[in-house]
């Protein structure tokens, strides 16, 4: 077995949206995308006062990729033009496959806008391969208790399994979210002094973003709000906790396909983008009233 080495660290840039504290490592000054990972917004952590306006992400379209939303603190209300609705609270996850297209909104629930509270939410975009660009949309929203919990390093680490499989000793754990690809996704927390090893297929790209705390990989110290780009050779990642830390860790097959993006649409050709814009403007994504 060979450990993946760090190729590059990408610092998240500060890019607030109104009063919403936002850091974005992807895309950024040193990276456009990390095939198939397209985009990550890290909102918060921050505390909202009573009678706030909440998150500003009202109805908007998507086509051609998936969104994964991690509610580390606070709550999030989802609604879309396929009639999915949910309110997901601290520790939960939303996974939406936009596929051929839909309109959705992600806003703070009425109770949060009224009472305020702590909020930290991340959203990741994952590209879909050409043969799945026009797949039927789907949505899954899960609370913290619905996710699979795996102990690491004799309790010094912890993996919250969202999608994919994770083998440990004689057990295979399976995440509750079924995806159209073989994506693996998890939230990992580790304590100072911990050492964990995470298997990764060689044909998969790794997504690893440090949300909180400090870690060590390949004898390199890594601080919060950094996206880690790995070499392509190797079949596992070894992470040491140099402090208590939280990170998003996943991996997916590299698509190695042409990509054309235009705002909330990600396709393979300019003609497909033009069609997406036309379909949205002509109401073919369905409708969604403002929350």
Which residues line the annotated binding site for Fe cation? 60, 62, 104, 106
Largest CA distance in the chain: 56
Interatomic CA distance for residues 236 and 232, integer angstroms? 11
Collapsed DSSP state (helix, strand, coil) of residue 144? helix
Collapsed DSSP state (helix, strand, coil) of residue 132? helix
Cis status of the peptide bond prior to 45, with omega within 30 of 0:
yes
Q: What phi, psi does 32 have (nearest 5°)?
A: -90, -50
Q: Which residues are annotated as a binding site?
A: 60, 62, 104, 106
The C-alpha angle 6, 11, 14, rounded to 5 degrees, equals: 165
Of 31, 25, 29, the residue nearest 12 (C-alpha): 25
Task: Supply 87's token pair.
Answer: 């309110």
Q: Which residues contact 196 (CB under 8 A, 6 or more apart)?
A: 152, 153, 157, 188, 190, 238, 239
The C-alpha angle 195, 199, 203, rounded to 5 degrees, equals: 140
Q: Which residues contact 155 (CB under 8 A, 6 or more apart)?
A: none
């Amino acid at each position: 077995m060979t450990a993946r080495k760090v190729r590059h660290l990408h610092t998240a840039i500060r890019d607030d949206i109104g009063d919403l504290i936002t850091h974005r490592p992807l895309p950024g000054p040193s990276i456009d995308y990390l095939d198939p990972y397209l985009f990550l917004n890290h909102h918060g952590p921050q505390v909202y006062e009573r009678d706030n306006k909440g998150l500003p992400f009202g109805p908007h379209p998507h086509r051609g990729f998936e969104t994964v939303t991690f509610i580390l603190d606070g709550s999030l209300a989802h609604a879309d033009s396929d009639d999915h609705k949910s309110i997901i609270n601290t520790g939960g996850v939303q996974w939406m496959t936009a596929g051929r297209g839909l309109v959705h909104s992600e806003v703070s629930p009425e109770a949060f806008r009224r009472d305020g509270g702590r909020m930290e939410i991340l959203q990741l975009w994952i590209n879909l391969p050409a043969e799945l660009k026009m797949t039927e949309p789907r949505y899954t929203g899960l609370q913290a208790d619905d996710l699979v919990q795996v102990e690491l390093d004799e309790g010094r680490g912890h993996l919250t399994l969202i999608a994919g499989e994770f083998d440990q000793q004689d057990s295979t754990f399976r995440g509750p979210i079924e995806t159209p690809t073989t994506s693996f996704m998890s939230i990992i927390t580790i304590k100072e002094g911990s050492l964990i090893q995470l298997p990764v297929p060689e044909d998969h790209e790794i997504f690893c973003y440090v949300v909180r705390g400090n870690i060590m990989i390949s004898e390199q110290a890594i601080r919060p709000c950094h996206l880690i780009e790995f070499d392509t050779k190797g079949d596992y990642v070894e992470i040491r906790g140099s402090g208590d830390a939280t990170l998003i860790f996943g991996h997916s097959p590299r698509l190695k396909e042409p990509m054309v993006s235009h705002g909330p649409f990600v396709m393979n050709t300019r003609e497909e983008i033009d069609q997406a814009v036309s379909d949205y403007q002509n109401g073919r994504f369905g409708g969604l009233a403002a929350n």
